[in-house]
C-alpha cells in the first residue's frame, strides 16, 4: 500500500495487485486462493474482480476440479483483454507472438531473415503494424528480444551480424511514446526464468543462454543486473576458458567462442558465423559426442569461474544449454568441479536446464510489457480506451508448443 493515501488510490493499488497475481500464477489460482494470498477481505476481492471483468481485464471460469457446492471460480484473461506483442529476434530468424495475461501465447509469425538491419527489422515492423491495426487497443505494448547488447533503450550491437549502434525503434517504425521495449535476449530469458522457471524465489541466480554463442547474466532478487548502460548480460564475452581466438565483438578469447552452435560447427570443420548453419549445428549436436563433450567442458569451466565470482544459489541453462546438459551433463560437471574454489565444492550451486527451453527470451519480452502495463496508470489508460478495443482474438497456444522448441527449432 505504499503511496496509497485515499480509498481511490488503495482500490487502484489492489486492482494492480490482483491482476499481477493472476498473471504471475499463470491464471491457475482460484479467487479464494488469490484472496488469501493477497490478504484481501472476501467482499473486497469480489468487488475488485467484478470491476476488472467489467473493464475487460479479467474473466472467471469454474475450476476444473472443485468440492461439492458452488463451483470455485478461477480468474483469468478476458477474451477481449490486453495483449503483449513479444518478439524474439535471433541471428537467423524472428518469431512474433501475442501474449495474454497469465502467459499464454499465440505464435503470429516466424520468418527467416538475411541478417541485415533493414532485412530483419523492416519486415518485422510491417508485421507488428499489421497486428496492431487488427488487434487495436488490445495491444498494450511491444517487447523485442535481440541477440546482442542493447544501449539507451534501443541501440543494439550484434557482433556476429556486423550490427553496430542499430536504432531498433526507428527501423521498426515504433518511435516515441508507443515505442517498443527492447532488450538483450539473455536478460529477457533470465527475467522469464525468475518469473516462471528455475529461478523463481531464488535470491541470487545465474542464467546462461546458449544459441550460436553464449550469453549470461546474474539475477538478484528476481531481476537481471543490467549494468550501468544496460549492457550487462555479456558473460559470454569474458575470457573464461583460456582461448585466444578473436571474437567478432573485438575481444580475444571470449567464452562464447567455445560454447554454442558456432563452436559445434567449427569443431567438425564446417563453416560458421553470420547466423547461418542452424540445421547443421543441430545435426552435430545430435550425432557428434566429441563435439558436444567439448562444448559441455567449455561451458563447465566458465560456470565454475562465475560461481567463484558471484556465489549463486542456482545456475540455469536455456537454448542449446538444455541439450548440452542432457547429452553431456557429466562432462560439464567434471569440468566445472575442479574449477571451483574449495569453499564452493562442499555446497555447489544446483545446475539445471530450463523448463522454458527456447521460450525464455520471448516470454521475457512479454514480461517486460506487462511490467509496464500493470500499474495504476496503465490500467487507467486501458479503461479509457476499452470501448474501442479490437475485435480479433488470437487462437490460444500453450507456451510449451513453440515452433522454436525441439531438435529443429526452425
Residue-number span of the structural domain to which 163 is assigned: 83-188+359-401
Q: Is the predicted pLDDT of residue 407 greater than 60, yes or no?
A: no
pLDDT at 34 over 80: yes
Average pLDDT over residues 225-231: 90
Distance CA(334)–CA(394), nearest Å, equals 47
Does residue 112 share a domain with residue 207? Answer: no
| Model pLDDT, residue 71 | 65
- Residue 408 included in any domain: no
Instruction: Tell me the pLDDT band of 176, cut-offs 50, 70 and 90.
Output: confident
Q: Which domain CATH number covers 177?
A: 3.30.420.40
Question: Among 368, 399, 370, 360, which Cα is nearest to 216's?
Answer: 360
Question: Between residues 108 and 387, which one has the greater pLDDT?
Answer: 108
Residues 6+ apart with CB under 8 A from 163: 117, 148, 156, 157
- Is residue 409 situated within a structural domain? no
Nearest Cα to Cα of residue 181 among 224, 223, 141, 230: 141
52 and 115 inside one domain: no
Q: Are residues 221 and 339 in the same domain?
A: yes
Dist CA 82 CA 122 (whole Å): 25
The percent of residues in the chain predicted with pLDDT above 70, rounded, is 91
Instruction: Please give the grid coordinates belonging to residue 336.
Output: 566445472
**376 part of a folded domain:** yes
Residue 337 confidence (pLDDT): 96
Answer yes or no: is 195 within a domain: no
Tell me if 193 is assigned to some domain: no
Contact criterion met (CB below 8 Å) for 95 and 110: yes
Which band of pLDDT confidence, cut at 50, 70 and 90, is reported for residue 4? low
Average pLDDT over residues 330-355: 96
| Pair (343, 373) in one structural domain | no
- Verify that 181 and 245 share a domain, yes or no: no
Where are any strands of DSSP class E within 139-276? 139-146, 150-151, 155-158, 163-167, 181-184, 204-210, 214-220, 223-224
**116 and 257: one domain?**
no
CA 156 – CA 166 distance, rounded (Å): 5
pLDDT tens by residue, 320-338: 999 999 999 999 999 999 9
Q: Are residues 247 and 321 in the same domain?
A: yes
Distance CA 191, CA 185 (A): 10
Predicted local confidence at residue 404, as pLDDT? 40
Dihedral pair phi/psi, residue 201, rounded to 5°: 75, 5
Report CA torsion sign: 19, 23, 24, 29: positive
- Residues 129-143 have a mean pLDDT of 96
> What does each C-alpha distance from 90 to 173, 232, 358, 410 come to in angstroms?
19, 19, 11, 11
57 with 116, same domain: the answer is no
Full strand arrangement of the beta sheet holding 93-100: 105-112, 93-100, 83-89, 139-146, 181-184
Interval 362-377: pLDDT, tens: 999 999 999 999 999 9
Enter the pTM of the model.
Answer: 0.92
* Mean pLDDT of the 306-313 span: 97
Per the structure, the count of domains in the chain is: 3
Domain limit, last residue, from 77, 92, 121: 77
215, 298: one domain: yes
Whether pLDDT at 174 is above 60: yes
Indicate the DSSP class of residue 106: E
Q: What is the DSSP letter of 215?
A: E
Instruction: Give the β-pairing of 314-319 and 350-353.
Output: parallel
Q: How far apart are CA 292 and CA 269, in angstroms?
A: 14
Report the pLDDT value the prediction gives residue 394, as an integer from 0 to 100.
56
pLDDT band per the 50, 70, 90 thresholds, residue 7: confident
Whether residue 406 lies inside any domain: the answer is: no
Mean pLDDT of the chain: 91
Amino acid at each position: 500500500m505504499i503511496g496509497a493515501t485515499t480509498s481511490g488510490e488503495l482500490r487502484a493499488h489492489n486492482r494492480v495487485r490482483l491482476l499481477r497475481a493472476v498473471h504471475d500464477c499463470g491464471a491457475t489460482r482460484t479467487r479464494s486462493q488469490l484472496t488469501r494470498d493477497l490478504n484481501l477481505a472476501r467482499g473486497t476481492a469480489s468487488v475488485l474482480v467484478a470491476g476488472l471483468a467489467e473493464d475487460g481485464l479479467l474473466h472467471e471460469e469454474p475450476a476444473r476440479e472443485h468440492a461439492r457446492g458452488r463451483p470455485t471460480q478461477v480468474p483469468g484473461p478476458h477474451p477481449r483483454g490486453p495483449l503483449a506483442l513479444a518478439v524474439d529476434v535471433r541471428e537467423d530468424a524472428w518469431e512474433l507472438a501475442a501474449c495474454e495475461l497469465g502467459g499464454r501465447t499465440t505464435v503470429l509469425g516466424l520468418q527467416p531473415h538475411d541478417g541485415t538491419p533493414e532485412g530483419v527489422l523492416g519486415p518485422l515492423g510491417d508485421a507488428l503494424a499489421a497486428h496492431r491495426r487488427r488487434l487495436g487497443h488490445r495491444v498494450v505494448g511491444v517487447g523485442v528480444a535481440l541477440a546482442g547488447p542493447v544501449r539507451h533503450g534501443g541501440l543494439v550491437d550484434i557482433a556476429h551480424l556486423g550490427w553496430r549502434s542499430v536504432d531498433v525503434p526507428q527501423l521498426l517504425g515504433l518511435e516515441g511514446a508507443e515505442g517498443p521495449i527492447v532488450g538483450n535476449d539473455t536478460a529477457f530469458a533470465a527475467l522469464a526464468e525468475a518469473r516462471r522457471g528455475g529461478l523463481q524465489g531464488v535470491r541470487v541466480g545465474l542464467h546462461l543462454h546458449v544459441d550460436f554463442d553464449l550469453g549470461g547474466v546474474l539475477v538478484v532478487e528476481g531481476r537481471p543486473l543490467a549494468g550501468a548502460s544496460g549492457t550487462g548480460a555479456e558473460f559470454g564475452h569474458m575470457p573464461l576458458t583460456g582461448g585466444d581466438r578473436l571474437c567478432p565483438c573485438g575481444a580475444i578469447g571470449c567464452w562464447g567462442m567455445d560454447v554454442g552452435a558456432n563452436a559445434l560447427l567449427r569443431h567438425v570443420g564446417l563453416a560458421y558465423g553470420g547466423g547461418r548453419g542452424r540445421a547443421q549445428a543441430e545435426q552435430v549436436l545430435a550425432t557428434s559426442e566429441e563435439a558436444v563433450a567439448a562444448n559441455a567442458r567449455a561451458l563447465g569451466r566458465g560456470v565454475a569461474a562465475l560461481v567463484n565470482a558471484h556465489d549463486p544459489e542456482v545456475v540455469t541453462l536455456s537454448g542449446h544449454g538444455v541439450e548440452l546438459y542432457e547429452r553431456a551433463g557429466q562432462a560439464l560437471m567434471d569440468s566445472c568441479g575442479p574449477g571451483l574454489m574449495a569453499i564452493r565444492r562442499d555446497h555447489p550451486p544446483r545446475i539445471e536446464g530450463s523448463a522454458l527451453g527456447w521460450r525464455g527470451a520471448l516470454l521475457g519480452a512479454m514480461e517486460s510489457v506487462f511490467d509496464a502495463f500493470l500499474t495504476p496508470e496503465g490500467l487507467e489508460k486501458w479503461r479509457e480506451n476499452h470501448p474501442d478495443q479490437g475485435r480479433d482474438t488470437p487462437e490460444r497456444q500453450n507456451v510449451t508448443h513453440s515452433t522454436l522448441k525441439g531438435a529443429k527449432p526452425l
